Chains A and B, each alone.
Chain A
């Protein structure tokens, strides 16, 4: 079975500071990893994905994520946070050859303050 853990329910950062949203995963095969963002009363918007190759993945709106196989982590980062980044962030995993469903974490609420 595959699973995703997002250990922080909420992350608070000041605008202009770097942000990190943590994600760890557990799978029995090779993982495909994803980050999605959800604004209030909206669906999920795709931010970035790791399939293979370079461990540092760049995505939308200046976000990036680093795949670390030894630590089974895929943390989301941004060098300089904006108030408009405040939203709910979900990490998800899909296993190659193991079906096509995404398994999501419980989400991390990011709050960026002035």
Chain B
């Protein structure tokens, strides 16, 4: 499978615990994005990387959220001190930026987080 891969697919955690999600993008893609999707809503942008550089962060990304892409390949999204409002589907996507053109983004299957 050469698509975007996310792990785990499902995570149930107790309020106050820390969680970390992983995303492996399509191998030749240099851009990686994180989105959050709640029930009945479209995905909302959280942050994106070009190679290992984090170039944009949404105001939705509170101080409890941190994302990394240390070697410009896979990425992790960590949520500290989880709250019930963090319950959502976390989607990762990747694309290529070539000669000022950005290809369409391809999405992974998401990690569904439930905070109890």
B80 at the interface (CB under 8 A from A): no
In the complex the two chains form, what is the Cα distance from A101 to B42 in whole Å? 13
- Chain B's closest residue to A46 (CB) is B104
B31 with A102: CB separation less than 8 A: no
The prevalent SS among residues of B at the interface is strand
**In the complex, chain B residues whose CB is within 8 Å of the CB of A101:** 33, 45, 48, 56, 58
- Chain A's closest residue to B105 (CB) is A102
- Chain A's closest residue to B48 (CB) is A100
A-B contact count (CB 8 A): 57
Which residues A1-30 have CB closer than 8 A to chain B?
A: 4
A42 with B109: CB separation less than 8 A: yes
A49 with B109: CB separation less than 8 A: no
A103 at the interface (CB under 8 A from B): yes
A34 at the interface (CB under 8 A from B): yes
Q: Which of B40, B42, B97, B110 has the most CB of A within 10 A?
A: B42
A74 at the interface (CB under 8 A from B): no
